[in-house]
């Protein structure tokens, strides 16, 4: 029998009635809150003394991270960063080394109990609290076997090849309708109008989420997935309030679905799963964060990255326009080139040696997928988009091993359909205005991409 996760409503700013009646917070955005905080408190900006500390977000927003990773890779596949705002950590930048570590999940743990999947550690004041009072968000990507296996199996049926076949007509229809609605002869923001709309709509369908409220998913995703935001203690209360609101909304959906017949949406599948129908409130919230950030940020930023990179490499855009058979490989190459999540973190559970380096029990090990997907020894001319690249599929944008992205097939399907529907309409998208990248070391993507549409 499924239980309903009970939330501490005193922790939220308002009392919830139901998702239909409640007015939910939609501002400020996570980006606006962080920007405003640092403008008011410039002395609090993070300091990065180590020259190879690639946890600094400025190198990503300014798109100048490539030489740093290349220098590190020339010196070896992993390096110890002894000082950073996120504490000391091993920076793993080699493609082979990342796969090696990912293939040893018992030695290199993903568990939230050791620190989870991002470079961020829980603040000391949180760790000083009794365990039952800590604000911790277990989620199945941040679990080890066997619990990880059971929870992953619960949601995996949504992302099988047969599931993709069933979803494709609706994805294609929604994508085509959106492309047909885009303005011609004027500049607009591709990120907001296309990337966010398509991926947020997809999430709403997966959750059977009220369509009119789908942009809440974007708002919650941004507040959940920003590692730098979580270093600002002054924003903790607001951020937690946002997460509790998210969980309250989904709690109402959970109650509604317990009274209905089993269905194929993610909430219903959780309810009718032995592995997930007894989740405590924090685990419920953690898995929502995982599914929302995983389903939103990754595909959304690759959809924007595709447009930006095809504009940056007009020879590749010409190939795409002349030969639509290249689209499946183009999707893999764009995932490699963009790499929408820059890193994942593991924690070493025993003293071990990796590629000649001694890693101690308890050490934080950060796998920089972004750097590995541009490693010159693996990908020739790695900083060039090449949609004919023979080994584009060797990218590790979805991770590797038992924690490889459960929704990878769905992401690939959405990206393929987008390119196919653009080609069908002979749509050429030019970057024609502001380009603003995400200021973060975890999510790697675009906040704004102003474009104009012509035809080929």
Judged against a pLDDT cut of 50, whether residue 100 lies above it is answered with yes
Residue 233 corresponds to which tokens in the numbers above? 């203690």
Judged against a pLDDT cut of 90, whether residue 149 lies above it is answered with no
Using a 10 angstrom Cβ sphere, with 0-12 exposed, 13-18 middle and 19 or more buried, the burial of residue 208 is middle
Q: What is the pLDDT of residues 217-227, one digit of tens each?
A: 999 888 887 77
Residue-level pLDDT at 17 = 45
CA atoms within 13 A on the CB side of 252: 15
Q: What angle do CA 282, 287, 292 make, to 5 degrees?
A: 125
Q: What is the pLDDT of residues 164-182, one digit of tens each?
A: 999 999 999 999 999 999 9
DSSP 316: H
On whether the CB atoms of residues 3 and 197 are closer than 8 A, the answer is no
Residue-level pLDDT at 50 = 97
Q: DSSP 3-state assignment of 269? A: helix
At the fourth CATH level, the homologous superfamily of domain 9-455 is Cytochrome P450 (1.10.630.10)
- Helices 215-225, 236-258: crossing angle, 10 deg rounding: 130
Residue 177 corresponds to which tokens in the numbers above? 């309708």
pTM: 0.88
- Cβ atoms within 10 Å, residue 302: 27
Q: Is the dihedral of CA 208, 210, 214, 216 positive or negative?
A: negative
| Whole-number Å distance between alpha carbons of 310 and 422 | 13
Question: Could you tell me whether strands 89-92 and 364-368 are parallel, antiparallel, or unpaired per DSSP bridges?
Answer: parallel
Q: Quote the distance between the C-alpha of residue 253 and its chain's center.
A: 23
Q: What is the pLDDT of residues 353-395, one digit of tens each?
A: 999 999 999 999 999 999 999 999 999 999 999 999 999 999 9
State the pLDDT confidence band at 39, using cuts at 50, 70 and 90.
very high
Q: What angle do CA 432, 446, 46 make, to 5 degrees?
A: 130
* The residue to which tokens 């949601």 are assigned: 155
Residue 355 corresponds to which tokens in the numbers above? 């590629």
| Whole-number Å distance between alpha carbons of 279 and 291 | 15
Please give the share of the chain, as a percent, with pLDDT higher than 70: 88
| Whole-number Å distance between alpha carbons of 169 and 31 | 35
């Amino acid at each position: 029998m499924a239980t309903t996760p009970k939330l501490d409503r005193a922790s939220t700013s308002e009392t919830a009635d139901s998702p239909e009646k409640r007015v939910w917070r939609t501002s400020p955005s996570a980006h606006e809150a962080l920007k405003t905080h640092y403008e008011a408190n410039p002395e609090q900006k993070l300091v990065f003394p180590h020259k190879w500390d690639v946890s600094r977000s400025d190198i990503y927003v300014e798109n100048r991270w490539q030489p740093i990773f290349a220098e590190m890779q020339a010196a070896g596949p992993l390096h110890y960063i002894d000082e950073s705002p996120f504490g000391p950590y091993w920076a793993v930048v080699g493609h082979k080394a990342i796969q090696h570590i990912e293939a040893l999940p018992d030695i290199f743990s993903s568990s939230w109990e050791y620190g989870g999947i991002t470079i961020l550690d829980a603040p000391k004041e949180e760790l000083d609290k009794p365990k039952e009072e800590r604000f911790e968000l277990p989620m199945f990507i941040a679990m080890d076997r066997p619990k990880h296996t059971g929870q992953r199996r619960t949601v995996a049926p949504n992302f099988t090849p047969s599931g993709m076949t069933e979803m494709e007509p609706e994805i294609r229809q929604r994508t085509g309708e959106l492309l047909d609605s885009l303005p011609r002869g004027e500049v607009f923001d591709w990120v907001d109008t296309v990337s966010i709309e398509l991926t947020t709509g997809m999430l709403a369908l997966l959750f059977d989420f009220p369509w009119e409220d789908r942009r809440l998913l974007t708002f919650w995703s941004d507040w959940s997935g920003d590692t730098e935001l979580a270093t600002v203690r002054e924003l903790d209360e607001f951020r937690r309030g946002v997460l509790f609101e998210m969980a309250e909304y989904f709690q109402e959906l959970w109650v509604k679905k317990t009274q209905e017949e089993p269905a194929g949406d993610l909430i219903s599948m959780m309810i009718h799963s032995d592995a997930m129908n007894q989740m405590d409130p924090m685990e419920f919230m953690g898995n929502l964060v995982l599914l929302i950030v995983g389903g939103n940020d990754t595909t959304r930023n690759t959809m924007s990255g595709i447009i930006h990179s095809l504009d940056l490499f007009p020879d590749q855009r010409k190939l795409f326009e002349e030969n639509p058979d290249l689209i499946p490989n183009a999707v893999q190459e764009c995932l490699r080139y963009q790499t929408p999540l820059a890193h994942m973190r593991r924690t070493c559970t025993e003293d071990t040696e990796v590629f000649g380096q001694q890693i101690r029990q308890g050490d934080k090990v950060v796998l920089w997928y972004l750097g590995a997907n541009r490693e010159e020894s693996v990908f020739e001319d790695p900083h060039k988009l090449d949609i004919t690249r023979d080994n584009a599929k060797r990218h590790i944008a979805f991770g590797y091993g038992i924690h490889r992205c459960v929704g990878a097939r769905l992401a690939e399907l959405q990206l393929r359909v987008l390119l196919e529907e653009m080609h069908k309409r002979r749509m050429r998208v030019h970057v024609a205005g502001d380009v603003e990248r995400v200021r973060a070391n975890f999510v790697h993507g675009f906040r704004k991409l102003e474009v104009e549409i012509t035809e080929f």
